[in-house]
Structure 1
């Protein structure tokens, strides 16, 4: 079904800017922009690594999932819009209009016909029709008929929690049951439902509050963990620096204590080496003199050693 310009603009206002579909479980950010809960949730998860969350519309910063609030009013508006579109797409026409049938406003369960506003007025003017049950216009009456007696369902059995016809009240299994007219049952059940809805709303608000608090606690715990991690790294780095400095100090102390000993040993080694070299030289000279056979030269060489 084609939508008129105002309807198109209205539908645009009810469209999520991320998925470009009608809002599904809409939530609102502190900046006032609305998104599907799942759509903005995916965005927040992608931004988690960056540690900064911004609105996809205006780029204003927020606190992630902890900043999300369920927009119940917008949710109701979207559901109403969907319902109106569905109703317009399957509009029931008046059975009494001969030409250019107008949209029906009511359906008579007794006559089993749908009536526009004009024919409904004429229908109500006849006394014999004034007792007939009228419901919102519908093209399918089978769901409003008793499967046993093929008569309109006009009563509610409290005991069996089921809709019944007049024959069920008189001759059926519901004769001794607590039976009420739809009007009376509707009023009573609506009060019960209203009470249940109030209780559900309170529980939902409580769960939203608990969820928000849990998200805030999660954020706080993550922040505390990050701070503890940073402090632990700084402490370990400080300890590593102290160990390195102490290591250098110990090595320097040992070297300072051992330096005189090492220098003394090195001096001793040099003296022994020099003596060894001198002895080797003297040995070579003695060997040369020992092999000399001339008595004069033997004595001359010996005197030079």
Structure 2
């Protein structure tokens, strides 16, 4: 069922000026303009180096993250609109041949809505990796960039505008500071794979350091064991030398003692003999 013009305009009023989708957790700036919380936080992050934050709509200044206020009223209106829209005009799968099932996602590049079964190739095959998948919608005109008729997937921080892939390659946005919207199912996975790869590389590096430390520890232990063995051998040699010197000294003392005793005995015998001679005279 086609949407009436007032309803289409109402949906445009409830769409984020950055991602052009229905507000998700809308946040309001002091100037009164609303954006998806994740979209405006991405803008704030991109402007962090510059140190100045301006509203993407009216370019009025604000004080970054602290200036954001959750717009609960607008959030309720958006949720109510989603419920009423899904009840009054459900989006059906464009690929079902007989009885179409309810669509779960709409591809902005293929310009078709798909049920869970027909969505699988978009989620599994690399060919569809760059395709932007959004909530089911029958009105794709609001999600196209009029200049190139392509899906809006980037935000230019310098010109404060939403652009497509072609805009980043040619035209006034070439070489500008742009950031991709997180509208595809593959981006979180890519970020996760990148983090896992970084962690794996760090673990490998840490493992190399640990192995090197273990090798150094083994080398130190081997050197200490060799030093200990050399010290023991040195002390054994010293003890052997001392014992040998001790034996030699004792043998010399005993030899000199024997000579001294023999000399004394000889002298005593001579004195005794002379004594007898004196007695006979």
Which of 1 and 2 has greater Rg?
1
Structure 1 or 2: more helix by fraction: 1
Q: Normalising TM by the smaller chain, what interval?
A: 0.3 to 0.5
TM-score by length of 1: 0.34
